Amino acid sequence: MMSTYSHLAFNVVQLVLRNFMRHSNIMVDVGKWPIFTLLSPQEIASIRKACVFGTSANEAIYITHNDEVFVFGLNCSNCLGTGDNQSTIVPKKLEALCGKKISSLSYGSGPHVLLCTEDGEVYAWGHNGYSQLGNGATNQGITPVQVCTNLLIKRVVEVACGSHHSMALSADGDLYAWGYNNCGQVGSGSTANQPTPRRVSNCLQGKMVVSIACGQTSSMAIVNNGEVYGWGYNGNGQLGLGNNGNQLTPCRVAALHGVCILQIVCGYAHTLALSDEGLLYAWGANTYGQLGTGNKSNQLSPLQIMMEKERVVEIAACHSAHISAARTQSGQVYMWGQCRGQSVVLPHLTHFACTDDVFACFATPAVMWRLLSVEQEDYLTVAESLRREFDSPETSDLKFRVDGKYIHVHKAVLKIRCEHFRTMFQSYWNEDMKEVIEIDQFSYPVYRAFLEYLYTDCVDLLPEDAIGLLDLATSYCENRLKKLCQHIIKRGITVENAFSLLSAAVRYDAEDLEEFCFKFCVNHLTDVTQTTAFWQMDGPLLKEFIAKASKCGAFRN
């Protein structure tokens, strides 16, 4: 029996872990999930939290930095909550949830969606064939509706969904469950469906639940002394009880006696648990190697895995998939189980930075295993810092004056990035180094674009200006920049400027660009020969073009 102090310490650890789980996925790119490629860069940048769900990962919900809530996707079973059954590739706002500060979200296989807010309110919508929305009915929920029965007086802090059942955990440690109950997953002691939230008691009576998880038709809970309880379907041993008999009420996982579990997650029919010492345990179905034991045999009791690895700090699984993931103390991410159809029976070290990426790239379907936080940290990368400091008077130590305008730069950056400047600066003694360098052979837009390229690796110019930059790149022997300029020119070629661009390509010895412009001119010969640029072309180049075009058969009837 743990002391009051030990209970308090465990609760503090749980709070820290929950906060860590909520915010440890910083810098995640939601664009790794295919459905988010539908959004514009501006919409992507507005996202603070997001979740991809559905039987084919074809639905998504996201919360913006302004706490607005949007949904888009296929809308199976009205799971988008938009009030109709229409699919949408354009995000629609859920007005009822805007400003609610969503803190936890889960989804079922119907799918139905369940969430709670920072104020402890619970909302549900979507598939409701088994009363998994907790409203006492079985008709689909077409818009988000607050779940009221037995929960109005509670502040809910976490929700979880199985295939067709739901659970909600209150701040004071009470657990409520409802919905489909064919295997006892609601924990009521029977197999009758539960139409409204009902407190789960029996072996949990008098205990404070601190974390919950759902498999397809099973339920798991951790109490505040680190004990684990399971109930519901157990045909694959996913309850960890040493047998495969279903449990209609919560039953303690005795094999974990003496182990303090901090986190628990459920796959389709398997379970992972993480101890306060960073030890990882797995049990249940293993058809795809999702237990990471090196074989495909089901495991009826918890078995420690990844023993030879360093301390594990996070585990991940989802009831709609057969894949598992874990992150270690040093940030290494492992995955195993059904990885894009391939069975990986041992934890495989990936190059990912977080467990969420495993689900984006290898889960089937490519859903999210949790409500994903994409809030950015308050620091800039080296590349971002350099980009921001370009043309900054506050930090620069050198100025170029072009066409009477100043461009502020840093000598160190220029020396590192460009051989031309490295040679130039080495020819000066420090005391002779000018604070302002005059440039008269290039225009301001061209020279500024060049200096900005040294800071960003990017060029943003019109094709006509890119010709001048191509001239500069040739003079400064910047071969990569030459290729970028040629790419810009190719993208911007038109009937009107084709001969001007061809002339520039010849002048700067850009053979690939010259061939591209030549072919364009031949393909549009009639229109091109009527342009001003064609008749202003110098004689030798014009003769060369006509001769080459004739060889290509451009003047045949």
Instruction: Convert 285-323 into a string of H (helix), E (strand) and C (coil).
Output: CCCCCCCCCCCCCCEEEEEEECCCCCCEEEEECCCCCCE
User: Buried (b) or exposed (e) across 369-383, using 16+ Cβ within 10 A?
Assistant: bbbbbbeeeeeeeee
Distances (CA, A) of 527 to 298, 334, 367, 506, 523: 73, 60, 52, 21, 9
Q: Tell me: pLDDT of 376 over 90.
A: no
Q: Which two tokens stand for residue 168?
A: 């909600």
Residues 59 and 79: beta-carbon distance below 8 Å: yes
Q: Tell me: pLDDT of 32 over 70.
A: yes
pLDDT of the residue at 18: 47
First to last CA, the chain: 99
Find tokens 């949904």 and name the residue: 71
Q: What pLDDT digit, counting tens, does each position of 413-465 carry? A: 999 999 999 998 887 655 556 789 999 989 999 999 999 999 999 898 888 78
Mapping DSSP to helix (H, G, I), strand (E, B) and coil, where does residue 24 land? coil
Q: Tell me: pLDDT of 19 over 50.
A: no
pLDDT higher at 523 or 185: 185
Percent of the chain clearing pLDDT 90 (strictly above): 73
| Residue 22 pLDDT class (50, 70, 90 cuts) | very low
Residue 142 is classified by DSSP as E
Between CA 13 and CA 89 the distance in angstroms is 41
Distances (CA, A) of 220 to 153, 170, 372, 418, 490: 24, 15, 22, 60, 60
Q: What pLDDT digit, counting tens, does each position of 47-97 carry? A: 999 999 999 999 999 999 999 999 999 999 999 999 999 999 999 999 999
Q: Calculate the CA dihedral of residues 520, 525, 527, 528 and round it to 10 degrees.
A: 60
Average pLDDT of the residues in 390-410? 94
Q: Tell me: pLDDT of 556 over 90.
A: no
Most confident of the ranges 192-206, 381-395, 464-478? 192-206
Mapping DSSP to helix (H, G, I), strand (E, B) and coil, where does residue 418 land? coil
Find tokens 């594990």 and name the residue: 312
Q: What pLDDT digit, counting tens, does each position of 255-301 carry? A: 999 999 999 999 999 999 999 999 999 999 999 999 999 999 999 99
What residues pair up with 141 in beta bridges, in sequence order?
126
**Beta-strand relationship, 398-402 and 436-439:** parallel
Rounded to the nearest integer, the mean pLDDT of the chain is: 91
Residue 232 backbone phi and psi in degrees, to 5: 105, -150
Q: Which two tokens stand for residue 396?
A: 């620069």
Distances (CA, A) of 537 to 253, 485, 501, 517, 531: 86, 22, 11, 14, 11
Q: Tell me: pLDDT of 379 over 70.
A: no
Q: Which strands sit side by side in the sheet containing 280-284, from one edge to the other?
A: 261-266, 270-275, 280-284, 299-305
Mapping DSSP to helix (H, G, I), strand (E, B) and coil, where does residue 349 land? strand
pLDDT of the residue at 487: 86
- For 257, other C-beta atoms within 10 Å of its C-beta total 9
pLDDT of the residue at 433: 63
Find tokens 């990569």 and name the residue: 480
Question: Considering only CA atoms, which of 378, 334, 366, 381 is closest in space to residue 353?
Answer: 334
| Residue 155 pLDDT class (50, 70, 90 cuts) | very high
Question: Considering only CA atoms, which of 187, 262, 264 is closest in space to residue 218?
Answer: 187
Q: Tell me: pLDDT of 4 over 50.
A: no
Average pLDDT of the residues in 241-266? 97
**Beta-strand relationship, 333-339 and 436-439:** unpaired
Between CA 261 and CA 370 the distance in angstroms is 19
Question: Considering only CA atoms, which of 184, 186, 241 is closest in space to residue 212?
Answer: 186
pLDDT higher at 19 or 225: 225
Between CA 473 and CA 479 the distance in angstroms is 7
Average pLDDT of the residues in 510-523? 87
What residues pair up with 327 in beta bridges, in sequence order?
314, 333
In this prediction the pTM is 0.71
Question: Of the ranges 49-58, 267-276, 329-338, 533-542, which one carries the lowest mean pLDDT score?
Answer: 533-542
Percent of the chain clearing pLDDT 70 (strictly above): 93
Find tokens 């072919």 and name the residue: 519
Average pLDDT of the residues in 319-333? 95
DSSP-assigned states of every residue in 225-284: TS-EEEEE--TTSTT-SSS---EEEEEE-GGGTT--EEEEEE-SSEEEEEETTS-EEEEE
What angle is formed at CA 202 by the lines to CA 154 and CA 264, rounded to 5 degrees? 70
pLDDT of the residue at 557: 57
Average pLDDT of the residues in 403-419? 94
| Residue 529 pLDDT class (50, 70, 90 cuts) | confident
Q: Tell me: pLDDT of 508 over 90.
A: no
Residues 531 and 499: beta-carbon distance below 8 Å: yes
Residue 295 backbone phi and psi in degrees, to 5: -140, -170
Residues 229 and 220: beta-carbon distance below 8 Å: yes
Between CA 322 and CA 326 the distance in angstroms is 14
Q: Which two tokens stand for residue 188?
A: 């009521």
Distances (CA, A) of 212 to 193, 229, 507: 20, 10, 70
Question: Of the ranges 6-20, 111-125, 183-197, 241-255, which one carries the lowest mean pLDDT score?
Answer: 6-20
Q: What pLDDT digit, counting tens, does each position of 172-218 carry? A: 999 999 999 999 999 999 999 999 999 999 999 999 999 999 999 99
Between CA 428 and CA 449 the distance in angstroms is 25
